[in-house]
């Protein structure tokens, strides 16, 4: 599915970073950052340009090829990994930051991934996350087609119980990111530390 979507000539989510990430990346300590479900590379490339050492994971080989081109065009190095987040080990206390932008997964996989996120962050590590909430289905401006793939503040509090939230909010905001995320969006945003 994602290979087909990313096969478009253009970058379907654009080449500019996610707004929430752009406004808050300084909350992430300088060092090693892991970008989950990074797609075509807009967020990993942005972080690499800010001086982070970035590893980005995505299940789409087509998306990764576009991301590599974007990194090359911006003269930055990113370690791109073609892997399934259901089976990819995040390691233990490896990451200064983990970035999850619109990484929507089935509940069972998401719960296991979030447990790995807590385990994978270093002692001072920070998670920065934005995802669509169930309310997004009313808007039809992008995101998953079913409630089960969305997230909420309550879900994140429960699944990321090992982290301390400095920000956790649900809101509606204009999401203008390429051709596939455009219009009013219902999102949950989180910044949390180990």
pLDDT tens digits, 119-160: 999 999 999 999 999 999 999 888 899 999 999 999 999 999
Q: Which residues pair with 148 in a beta bridge?
A: none
Residue 93 CA from chain centroid, whole number? 19
**Alpha helix stretches (DSSP H) within the chain:** 2-6, 19-24, 42-49, 61-73, 107-120, 153-159
DSSP characters over 1-18: -HHHHHTSSS-TT-SSPP
Q: Which two tokens stand for residue 160?
A: 């990321």
pLDDT in tens, 155-175: 999 999 999 999 999 999 999
**Cα(85)–Cα(105) distance, rounded to whole angstroms?**
9
pLDDT in tens, 78-121: 999 999 999 999 999 999 999 999 999 999 999 999 999 999 99
H or E segment and range at residue 175: strand 164-177
CA torsion through residues 38, 179, 51, 188, sign: negative
CA torsion through residues 136, 187, 164, 100, sign: positive
Which range among 35-39, 53-57, 129-133, 141-145 shows the weakest confidence by mean pLDDT?
141-145
**Cα(1)–Cα(189) distance, rounded to whole angstroms?**
26
With beta carbons less than 8 A apart as the criterion, state whether 80 and 64 touch.
yes
CATH of domain 2-193: 3.40.50.150
Q: Which two tokens stand for residue 74?
A: 């911006």
Kindly report the pTM of this predicted structure: 0.96
Q: Which two tokens stand for residue 188?
A: 């949950």
């Amino acid at each position: 599915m994602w290979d087909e979507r990313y096969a478009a000539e253009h970058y379907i989510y654009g080449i500019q970073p996610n707004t929430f990430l752009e406004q808050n990346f300084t909350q992430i300590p300088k060092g090693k950052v892991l970008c989950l479900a990074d797609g075509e590379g807009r967020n990993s490339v942005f972080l690499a340009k800010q001086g982070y050492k970035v590893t980005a994971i995505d299940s789409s080989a087509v998306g990764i090829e576009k991301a590599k081109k974007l990194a090359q065009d911006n003269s930055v190095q990113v370690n791109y990994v073609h892997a399934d987040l259901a089976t990819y080990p995040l390691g233990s206390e490896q990451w200064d930051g983990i970035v999850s932008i619109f990484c929507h997964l089935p509940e069972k996989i998401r719960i296991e991934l979030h447990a790995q996120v807590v385990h994978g962050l270093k002692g001072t590590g920070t998670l920065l996350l934005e995802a669509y909430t169930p309310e997004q289905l009313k808007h039809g401006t992008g995101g998953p087609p079913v409630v089960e793939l969305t997230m909420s503040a309550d879900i994140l509090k429960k699944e990321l119980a090992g982290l301390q939230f400095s920000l956790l909010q649900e809101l509606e905001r204009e999401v203008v990111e390429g051709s596939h995320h455009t219009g009013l969006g219902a999102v949950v945003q989180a910044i949390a530390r180990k």
